[in-house]
Structure 1
Amino acid sequence: MANEPLSGKTALVTGASSGIGEATAHALARDGARVALAARREQALDGVASDVEREYDAETLVVPTDVRDESSVAETVETTVEAFGHLDVLVNNAGLARGESVEEMTTDQYAAMMETNVDGVFYATREAIPHLRETDGNLVFVGSFAGQYPRPFNPVYAASKWWVRGFAHSVEARVGADGVAVTVVNPTEVRTEFGSAYGESFAERFEEGEVTEPEEVAEAIAFAAGQEKSTVSELDLYRRDKFSGF
């Protein structure tokens, strides 16, 4: 259908229990996709799935997943393909942020962030690529403004997002000829629970309308996921006053 560009397609979204991931599940289901929801919080995923099914009469699949565990990720992709027959879209959204300075960050804190933001992205991408080749699918990475510019108050998070961009575009160069589209979506601050691991979340810090909303990022992801013949290589979603102080 003209208003359902993803009709008949299957999408897997990591970090789908809240924020950008939850909004993305809604946007993809609205566009006709069957959506597999992956995150650690099963109860939250169940709530998202119920909302998506009720609102769009869409097929969903809840797959509790720890992206830091390669066997968990492999099982998630396998379960999704077994349930829906194929995989057309992977959205690498799961992420973790901490705000400690380098000298204050413990090794465990460092490892948790890198295992989520780097290793998890690698595991999911590795498992999905063979299936996306079969469907001429779309691989979408949620990057960040922090992956483009220095971020003095959380340099390790910034470094992980620089890695995501470099990895994504290098994968793009590798699999583009096989028919796989790759997109990096880079938002600035998004009003979600993101950042709560080290204090006040963005949802608490910003009032509605001050910064980007999760639904805006989800629309960019859905747009990228709907491309059939071309690759939208990179999309930057900056709040309109982002550069006013530069």
Structure 2
Amino acid sequence: MVSARLDDQVAIVTGASSGIGEATARILARDGADVVLAARRRGELEAVADDVADEHGVDAHVVPTDVTNEDEVEALVDATCEEFGGVDALVNNAGLGVGGDVEDLSTDGYRQMMDVNCDGMFFATRAALPHLREADGNLVFVGSFAGQYPRPSNPVYAATKWWTRGFAHSVEAAVGDDGVAVTVVNPTEVRTEFGSEDGTAFEETFDPGEVTEPEEIAEAIAFAARQEAPTTTSEIDVYRRDKFAHF
């Protein structure tokens, strides 16, 4: 069953200072959830939180967090439970894409992607799972088209997203009996800051209407977060309509 609202629910969103994470915080708040916004940039988080609280009348709590730091991630979940009494949904969204060809990717770039895209997902999941069990909650991972099909232009980024899907579905198998729902949402190109780490951001590369907007991915995430026991939506693909045209 899918609830139409998320009233009295508490959701943590990582990578919430911009892009898909920001849009997700806004959509979850629109649906009635109190939101905890996590990212490294305090100023951006506070601006989003102020907007969300003013527009939707929910509580929006800011916890600056580097997801690659397990102590900070533990503190994020502890702060959420202290403020709200528990966690009903975790949106594992923080991620980045650095470099390209294997031969051109620096070791630092490789480590950075692995740290954020893999370790960050693990740390947040580990910290939140006990609370999600108590709440029969929803655990949502932002994956990628690149986690389902080869990406010759950036094999390491693709590998991190294959890892995300493999980890998410294996966690789903482990905690389904405990009442925890797990969903992977897979976008293709989305007009966000993605790509700006070492090149041009997708929001600059693509014109409005050319590829997916972050709000469209946020709606899919919110749909997953509204799932009620005993049902889960295991995977949601949100693709450009012409994505398969090159095959």
TM-score range, shorter chain: over 0.9
Give distance in 2, aligned partners of 1:81 and 1:147. 32
Q: Residue 243 of structure 1 aligns to a residue in which SS?
A: helix
Q: CA deviation at 1:4?
A: 5.4
Amino acid at match of 1:168: A
Q: CA deviation at 1:124?
A: 0.1
Partner of 1:8: 8
Partner of 2:221: 221
The question of 1:172 aligning with 2:168 is answered no
- Greater alpha carbon shift after TM alignment, 153-162 vs 101-110: 101-110
Give distance in 2, aligned partners of 1:80 and 1:3. 23
Where structure 2 has 5 or more consecutive residues not aligned to the other structure, the ranges are none
Q: CA deviation at 1:245?
A: 2.1
Q: Residue 103 of structure 1 aligns to a residue in which SS?
A: helix
Amino acid at match of 2:217: V
Give distance in 2, aligned partners of 1:210 and 1:81. 40
Q: Residue 102 of structure 2 aligns to a residue in which SS?
A: coil
Q: CA deviation at 1:57?
A: 1.1
Runs of 4+ in 1 over 4 A off after TM superposition: none
Partner of 2:181: 181
Q: Are the aligned partners of 1:3 and 1:31 in contact in 2 as well (CA < 8 Å)?
A: no
Partner of 2:65: 65
Give distance in 1, aligned partners of 2:50 and 2:146. 33
Per-residue CA deviation, residues 118-155 of structure 1 (Å, 9 max, x unaligned), is 00000000000000000000000000000000001111
TM-score by length of 1: 0.98
Matches within 5 A, 1:37-186: 37-186=37-186
The Cα RMSD (Å) is 1.1
- Call closer, same or farther: CA 1:214–1:110 in 2, change over 3 Å: same
Q: Residue 199 of structure 1 aligns to a residue in which SS?
A: coil
Q: CA deviation at 1:3?
A: 8.3
Q: Are the aligned partners of 2:99 and 2:109 in contact in 1 as well (CA < 8 Å)?
A: no
Where structure 1 has 5 or more consecutive residues not aligned to the other structure, the ranges are none
Give distance in 2, aligned partners of 1:54 and 1:241. 38
Give distance in 2, aligned partners of 1:9 and 1:31. 10
Q: Are the aligned partners of 2:3 and 2:226 in contact in 1 as well (CA < 8 Å)?
A: no
Q: Are the aligned partners of 1:185 and 1:236 in contact in 2 as well (CA < 8 Å)?
A: yes
Partner of 1:198: 198
Per-residue CA deviation, residues 23-58 of structure 1 (Å, 9 max, x unaligned), is 000010011100000000000000110111111111
